[in-house]
Amino acid sequence: MDITEAAITLQRLTKENRILKKKLERSELDCVRSETIRQKKEALLKTVIAEIQDSRAVLEKKSSDLEKAFNELTLMRDKLVEAEKMAALATLVAGIAHEINTPVGTSITLASTLADETKALGTAVAQGQLKRTDFNNYLEIAIESTALLMANLTRAGELIQSFKQVAVDQVILEHRTFSVKDYLEEVVNSLALHFKKTPLTLNVEGDASIHIDSYPGAIAQVATNLVTNSLTHAFQSGTHGHIRFDVAQYQDAVLIEYSDDGCGIPPENLGKIFDPFFTTAYHQGGTGLGLHIVYNLVTQKLHGRIDVQSQVNQGTQFKILLPLSIKP
């Protein structure tokens, strides 16, 4: 290699060295830059994680608050359901008191008449003034009033017996075999008080020989709620109307058809009537639990089914299908 060649090579090497140096500087700079970016990203990530943790805590608190509120609501609903059941019982008790009042009141009047007559007879005997006609009159009164007393007290006894059964069934939900039609008649009798001053008729029709092995108390509650609803919602006060239970056997089940010919339920409400708290009578003190209880009793306690049909201005009809026998 001559000097000129060596000089050219040196020049080239110097140039390459310069380029490499520049590249090195640039890549060092890139390194610093990407480290800064990494640090920034890490800081951002930490902030995001902290925020997520914060929101998780807030969410957890919210969901525990929600759970608490939900539990409180469930508890409140259960309490209301119980209160509604007690209200149905109170309706029955009021009916019982009223029905028994009539025969007992008549018996008291009869007994006091008999006491007065006996006293008068005693006085006449003591004074030696007893005439045959007086005695015969007394005998007639005594025989008549004791017969009436017997009839009235028997009626009171029967009422107490059937009402006692209805009330006991309601409170302890006893399980037994009974005639559905006869039992509905007892329940309807205890509701008669609410019909006395209305031009409404309430009938129980059908086959009394159909017996079921079930919970009569639950059936009493269902019937009481349906009748109370017809009285409150279906008929304006003073209007004539008919309410009716019809009992029939349907395959291996009993079909209770309940109907009224009142105002009916508009189609937009029909799907909601079994929902808890659905009521169109909020301002009249309705809680909207009556039919919810009916639905629960029929489907859960009585293992049956309930359907509703209604047409505005035609009336409402409930079909309740209950198995003939359920295990306690």
Ligand X SMILES: Nc1ncnc2c1ncn2[C@@H]1O[C@H](COP(=O)(O)OP(=O)(O)OP(=O)(O)O)[C@@H](O)[C@H]1O
Distances (CA, A) of 175 to 182, 216, 232: 16, 7, 30
Q: Does 281 help bind ligand X (rule: CB under 6 A)? A: yes
- 163 vs 278, which CB is nearer to ligand X? 278
CB 243 to ligand X: min, Å: 9
Q: Which residues pair with 250 in a beta bridge?
A: 253
Q: Does 280 help bind ligand X (rule: CB under 6 A)? A: yes
Q: Which residues contact 308 (CB under 8 A, 6 or more apart)?
A: 265, 270, 273, 274, 316, 317, 318, 319
323 and 252 Cβ atoms separated by less than 8 Å? yes
The 3-state DSSP class for residue 214 equals strand
State the pairing for strand pair 200-206/241-250: parallel
Task: Figure out which of the listed residues 96, 263, 297, 322 binds ligand X, where binding follows CB under 6 A.
Answer: 263
CB 91 to ligand X: min, Å: 11
Task: Figure out which of the listed residues 92, 180, 184, 289 binds ligand X, where binding follows CB under 6 A.
Answer: 289
- 107 vs 317, which CB is nearer to ligand X? 317
CB 77 to Mg ion: min, Å: 15
The 3-state DSSP class for residue 55 equals helix
CB 196 to ligand X: min, Å: 20
Q: Concatenated DSSP letters for 130-185?
A: --HHHHHHHHHHHHHHHHHHHHHHHHHHHHHHHHHHHHHHHHH---EEEEHHHHHH
Q: Does 259 help bind ligand X (rule: CB under 6 A)? A: no
Interacting residues with Mg ion (CB under 5 A)? 229, 290
CB 260 to Mg ion: min, Å: 13
φ/ψ of residue 217, rounded to 5: -60, -40
Part in contact with ligand X (CB under 6 A); list of ranges 33-41, 119-127, 181-189, 279-287 = 279-287
Part in contact with ligand X (CB under 6 A); list of ranges 64-72, 136-144, 151-159, 261-269 = 261-269
CB 232 to ligand X: min, Å: 6
Task: State which H helix or E strand residue 260 sits in.
Answer: strand 253-260
CB 310 to ligand X: min, Å: 7
* Neighbouring C-beta atoms of residue 323, cutoff 10 Å: 15
202 and 235 Cβ atoms separated by less than 8 Å? no
Query: What is the spatial distance between Cα 306 and Cα 226, in angstroms, rounded to a whole number?
Result: 12
- 44 vs 281, which CB is nearer to ligand X? 281
- 228 vs 249, which CB is nearer to Mg ion? 228
The binding track of 70-109 with respect to ligand X, each residue x by CB under 6 A or -, is --------------x-------------------------
Contact set with ligand X (CB under 6 A): 84, 229-230, 232-234, 260, 262-263, 265, 273, 278-281, 286-292, 316
